[in-house]
Structure 1
Amino acid sequence: MKNKKWLAFIFLTIFALVLSGCNFNSPDKEKDSSEKEEGTKEGVAVKSEQVLRLSASAEIPTMDSTKAHDGVAFNVLNNTNEGLYRQNENNESILALAEKHDESDDETVHTFTLKKTNWSNGDPVTAADFEYAWKRVMREAAPYNYMIATAGIKNAEAIMNEEMDADELGIKATGDLTLEVTLESPNPLFKTLLAFPTFLPQNQKFVEGLGDQYALEADKVLANGPFKLVSWTHEQGWTLEKNEDYWDADNVKLDKVEVVVVKEPSTGANLYETGKIDRTVLTSALVAQYADHEDFEIEKESDIIFLRFNHNHPVLGNPEIRRAINMAVDRDGLTEVILQDGSSPLYGVVAKGYYFSPDQKDYRDLNGDINKGTPEEAKALWEKTLAEIGEKEVTVSINIADSESHKKVAEYLQAQLEDNLPGFKLEIKAVPFAQRLEIEKAITYDISLSSWGPDYSDPMTYLDMWLKGGSANRMGYDNPKLNNLVAQAYVETDPSKRFEMLLGIEKILLVEDAAIAPLYQEGTAILKRRTIKNLVKHPSGAEFDYKWASIEE
């Protein structure tokens, strides 16, 4: 027995020295309280710090779930809060805060029984919190209020059209833990949509007590999900800690998630190399350098990058001008030479590989490549249309986020458009991500380099954002034919007929109007530690779920 103990001591000593040599922990830093002992197959205790260190491309624009409309905010909200449903590891909507979900025979009245849970300040989470939050979304004309209408909740559309008051939304708390939601008609997407952050609850007393200071700092938000936001240094980063009062805390393995804002991928790579973050996104300039790295991966995305046009602009308001711009960009060169990250050319608004017809044909294959042309065709259309509108030269600016990748894309577009379209001049205006969104909402831009990630698993998530006055429209676009076809598709229950309508919506947007210029479907080149297990990445809605993640040495 003595010899075995001595051998074990030598083994552990050597193991500790190896870890120290790899610089996993600074020698002058005390061990974090979140370190835990886990047994290996050989029965030897190994210390594994349950801290996940990530990067984000931008600051959190808001922590108010009624106002959030971007991926950064959705990620944090999805991990610090929880609604009636949430997405599981297989991207399916499953019951979360709701213990039970009952439907009426005609599937229009849905009754939810909630679990007994608390907010991070100790207040109980009640059905009234859902009623308050959803009505607040409608009352304040929040960016994602159309999601309430997309879910088919009674009176939502009338409220959006200012024909009814927000208090008339079809939701009411019938008890402390009982919530009743009434739909206009049966909606097959209802459960899927409920996992989206817009449908999260809010504590009315807490929100209204803080007034316009609500959700501006870490101590001005509440959590009822797997993690709590415990620190938030604006433009630098934030920290989440495990919420021990979460109803499913036993299945949450991470103790902490530390996120730093990294706008320059080269900085991210350096942080990864020095062990300060565990996952980082690489741009084309870094792909060649790290392509043979053992942690290198390519992830295919459902997000799209495209150009918005200000439809009120005297020149860009012309659909043939927009079509010429569409045709003038070599997307193969953009994705293969400039990006080199697994992104692929896109000539439609609906991404490829995620959305299929009832007979399992890809939406993108069915509608094909729209507005694809040669530089010569683009030039001819451009010159013809310029002559018709009496212009010889056009100078416009492009609104972009101040990230390295967007700057490279903008510079490529500038070269392509100025070379292929005589008399065209493009000025690049880079601003912080949140400011780019505000400029878009105000439609005070000429062209804006935009991104869109699907909110839920259906082509409509790319298509109904172009409705007149919709919060995601952000370019003054309006076609009554598109508006009407979207409305018809909302209520069509025959899957085949509905899918034909969805194909038709894109044709109106791009074939008839060339309303936007799709550029590429994102791919992501990353470095990710092999020690990260079960970090769930969703193709729609909030991108990441930390709930099931762990660190295993």
Structure 2
Amino acid sequence: MEKHHLLELGVGVGIVALVAIGTFLHQQASKVDTTGSSLKVATSGRVETLNSTTYSSLTASSTISATIVGLYARDAQGQIVSAISNGQPDVSANLKTYIFHLRPYHWSNGARVTAQDFVYAWQQLADPKTQARNAARIDFLKNGAAVRTGKKPVSALGVRALSKKRLEVTLQQANPYLDEILADTPMLPINQAFAQKWGKDYGANATRVLANGPYQITGWSGADDTTWRYVKNPNYYHAKRVQVKAIDFTSEADITKGAKAFEAGKFDYAALSPQQVPSFKGSNQLKTQRTTTEAFVFFNTTTGPTTNVELRRAIAQAVDKHNFTQSRLRDGAQPLNGLVPAGLTNMTNGRDYRAATGELLPYNLSKATAAWNRAKKQMGINHLNLTLTIADNDTANLAATYLAGQLEHNLPGLNITIQKVSLARRVVLETAGKFELVFSTWSPADSDPLNLLSFYQTGSRLNITGYTNAKFDAMGKAIEKSGTHPAKRLALVQQAERYLMTQQVPAVGFFQDGSAYLLDAGVKQFPIMPSGAINYEYVKVH
């Protein structure tokens, strides 16, 4: 669950995120291309698929969302706006049934986007045969959970085409975040005839996917490619507002090259690693901001020493997160003491949810020591060796080194071994439950805090901890049923989060990520979403 910088992320997706190493934008000349003809982007991630039902990385999510839009989308400020939906659905009195009226969007092969394209895509996402890691995102629909777990057929899913232009959506429970959910990558339409033509190869390269959004992708032949291109889609419904005609991407593992090239006048946007930030302190080109992307340490709750909740509680409180964000990251990041990040959503009185809920298991050495002593007594040990598994990149390495140092110093007798693997290998290990501790990041797809809680519900494919608890599952169901009462719903979310993160502790929040980058004055508008995602549709240059 780590972000590929999303600078991909968020694209509001609800998927497993990849740690960002950086993305930078450049051009061939010594200044920004003011003709609006092209931009050049280097990213640390690669695209593994263009199939919106099976992707697992945020690089892929970002690419898919730049080429395909759904019923709703996000504007330059990150606000939800209507897209294929005309924004005026017919809504039932109980707020569970919606009929969306579709605007005349077209696929890149000339076919009109129809209601059946949504039905097909959502049924594919829910179908257990697809084995989509983001399948739980379909649970907002009637029978969503039952379909994805194989208890009901895909035909029972709460979506149907009333005509080519009218889509009926039936919810399991009323949901105040519906428009945000419908803007997420997993909820994008798929042209059924085209997808069925290619079968399992749908989305495997640029010729096996259709676009209906601001850009089409070219020059991408598969998951091993390190270069690809966005080309402005002339048939896009809002083509007039897309200024940049082409964007060339290169997968670049070494983020330091971006800053050096920026200084040489070759780039107009360069993401920075935490280690680079001090070098640009005082520069008016240096920008930092907090994002909603979060970093966690996940515990294996099914086997090994980390099944002991006192051990998990000790680890959770033994790390000085404030020192890490201020002395190591220095990019706008802040400590995360809980599951829901600051700035994600507000209570009904307007107060930030995180501030209203408080800090859950913050750094407290005396409490950590007491929990560690209880854990050692319960396990009958004086010393313990644990392995922390990470994807081998700059951010994860920095975090793991700090975590190991803090834990070994503050919990005498505990030894941490850092296991560095590729991101793909880390995902395999965590999916198989072959880990003790995992460092990973996640970018919330929307502002509904329930999505973060749902990670830990029994049966969720995102629940790598293996945690299962009937009481917590019941709390989730109660939250879902309270959709028409926002204040009650948020209060139940708070109750569930406190129970999960203080009494059960299947994971511990580490930090809320920041974004540091250099931006040339020639870039007039470069929308970076709260998640850290870049909304290329609205990029403008002077």
Do the structures match in fold with TM over 0.5?
A: yes
2:68 aligned to 68, 81, 94, which one? 81
Task: State how 1:9-408 maps to structure 2 within 5 Å.
Answer: 25=28, 48-99=35-86, 101-106=88-93, 107-139=95-127, 140-150=130-140, 153-232=141-220, 234=224, 236-408=226-398
- Is 1:499–2:490 an aligned residue pair? yes
- Deviation of 1:414 after TM superposition, in Å, equals 1.4
SS where residue 86 of structure 2 aligns?
A: strand
Residues 1:378 and 1:235: Cα distance change in structure 2 (over 3 Å): farther
- Partner Cα separation in structure 2 for residue 108 and residue 317 of structure 1: 40
Amino acid at match of 1:481: K
SS where residue 154 of structure 1 aligns?
A: coil
- Partner Cα separation in structure 1 for residue 328 and residue 412 of structure 2: 23
Residues 1:419 and 1:132: Cα distance change in structure 2 (over 3 Å): same
- Partner Cα separation in structure 1 for residue 262 and residue 196 of structure 2: 41
Contact 1:52 1:551 in 2 (8 A): no
SS where residue 86 of structure 1 aligns?
A: strand
- Deviation of 1:69 after TM superposition, in Å, equals 4.1
Residues 1:288 and 1:184: Cα distance change in structure 2 (over 3 Å): closer
- Structure 2 length normalisation: TM-score? 0.88
Contact 2:28 2:266 in 1 (8 A): no
- Structure 1 length normalisation: TM-score? 0.87
Residues 1:279 and 1:430: Cα distance change in structure 2 (over 3 Å): farther
SS where residue 112 of structure 1 aligns?
A: strand
2:516 aligned to 525, 550, 553, which one? 525
- Partner Cα separation in structure 2 for residue 223 and residue 204 of structure 1: 13
Contact 2:29 2:266 in 1 (8 A): no
Contact 2:65 2:185 in 1 (8 A): yes
Range 350-359 or range 495-504, more displaced: 350-359
- Partner Cα separation in structure 2 for residue 365 and residue 537 of structure 1: 24
- Partner Cα separation in structure 1 for residue 61 and residue 29 of structure 2: 33
- Is 1:475–2:465 an aligned residue pair? yes
Amino acid at match of 1:186: A
SS where residue 244 of structure 2 aligns?
A: coil
- Partner Cα separation in structure 2 for residue 227 and residue 426 of structure 1: 46
1:537 aligned to 484, 508, 528, which one? 528
- Structure with higher RCO (Cα < 8 A, 6+ apart): 2
Contact 1:353 1:362 in 2 (8 A): yes
Contact 2:66 2:214 in 1 (8 A): yes
Contact 1:481 1:508 in 2 (8 A): no
Residue 20 of structure 1 is matched in structure 2 by none
Deviations 1:419-454 (A, max 9, x none): 222232222222333433333233222211111111
Amino acid at match of 1:83: G
Residues 1:483 and 1:222: Cα distance change in structure 2 (over 3 Å): same
- Partner Cα separation in structure 1 for residue 369 and residue 97 of structure 2: 56
- Deviation of 1:217 after TM superposition, in Å, equals 2.0
- Deviation of 1:498 after TM superposition, in Å, equals 1.4
Contact 1:454 1:539 in 2 (8 A): no
- Partner Cα separation in structure 2 for residue 405 and residue 516 of structure 1: 19
Residues 1:539 and 1:504: Cα distance change in structure 2 (over 3 Å): same
Contact 1:375 1:420 in 2 (8 A): yes
- Partner Cα separation in structure 1 for residue 91 and residue 357 of structure 2: 38
- Deviation of 1:295 after TM superposition, in Å, equals 1.4
- Partner Cα separation in structure 1 for residue 179 and residue 124 of structure 2: 21
- Partner Cα separation in structure 1 for residue 399 and residue 393 of structure 2: 10
- Partner Cα separation in structure 2 for residue 368 and residue 100 of structure 1: 36
Deviations 1:299-327 (A, max 9, x none): 11111111011112320011110111111
Deviations 1:161-218 (A, max 9, x none): 4221112112112222222222234322222211111110112232232233222222
Residues 1:474 and 1:61: Cα distance change in structure 2 (over 3 Å): farther
Range 327-336 or range 386-395, more displaced: 386-395
- Partner Cα separation in structure 2 for residue 324 and residue 397 of structure 1: 16
Range 260-269 or range 241-250, more displaced: 260-269
Residue 410 of structure 2 is matched in structure 1 by 420
SS where residue 490 of structure 1 aligns?
A: helix
Deviations 1:316-365 (A, max 9, x none): 01111011111111112211122121211111111123322112222222
Contact 1:50 1:550 in 2 (8 A): no
- Deviation of 1:294 after TM superposition, in Å, equals 2.9
Deviations 1:125-177 (A, max 9, x none): 22211111000001124222222213xx2211221342211121121122222
- Partner Cα separation in structure 2 for residue 67 and residue 173 of structure 1: 23
SS where residue 353 of structure 1 aligns?
A: coil
Contact 1:146 1:471 in 2 (8 A): yes
SS where residue 124 of structure 1 aligns?
A: coil
SS where residue 538 of structure 2 aligns?
A: coil
Amino acid at match of 1:532: V
1:486 aligned to 470, 476, 495, which one? 476
Identity, % of aligned pairs?
29
SS where residue 220 of structure 2 aligns?
A: strand
SS where residue 399 of structure 2 aligns?
A: helix
Residue 22 of structure 2 is matched in structure 1 by none
Amino acid at match of 1:400: I
Amino acid at match of 1:463: L
Structure 2 portions without partners, runs of 5+: 1-25
Contact 1:264 1:403 in 2 (8 A): no
Aligned residues: 510
Range 301-310 or range 489-498, more displaced: 489-498
RMSD of aligned alpha carbons: 2.3
Contact 1:287 1:341 in 2 (8 A): yes
- Partner Cα separation in structure 2 for residue 474 and residue 276 of structure 1: 42
| Greater C-alpha radius of gyration | 1
Residue 10 of structure 2 is matched in structure 1 by none
SS where residue 174 of structure 1 aligns?
A: strand
Amino acid at match of 2:459: G
Contact 2:299 2:438 in 1 (8 A): yes
SS where residue 285 of structure 1 aligns?
A: coil
Contact 1:303 1:454 in 2 (8 A): yes
Range 451-460 or range 388-397, more displaced: 388-397
Amino acid at match of 2:89: D
- Partner Cα separation in structure 2 for residue 496 and residue 26 of structure 1: 54
Range 463-472 or range 109-118, more displaced: 109-118
Residues 1:24 and 1:320: Cα distance change in structure 2 (over 3 Å): closer
Contact 1:401 1:430 in 2 (8 A): yes
Residues 1:232 and 1:277: Cα distance change in structure 2 (over 3 Å): farther
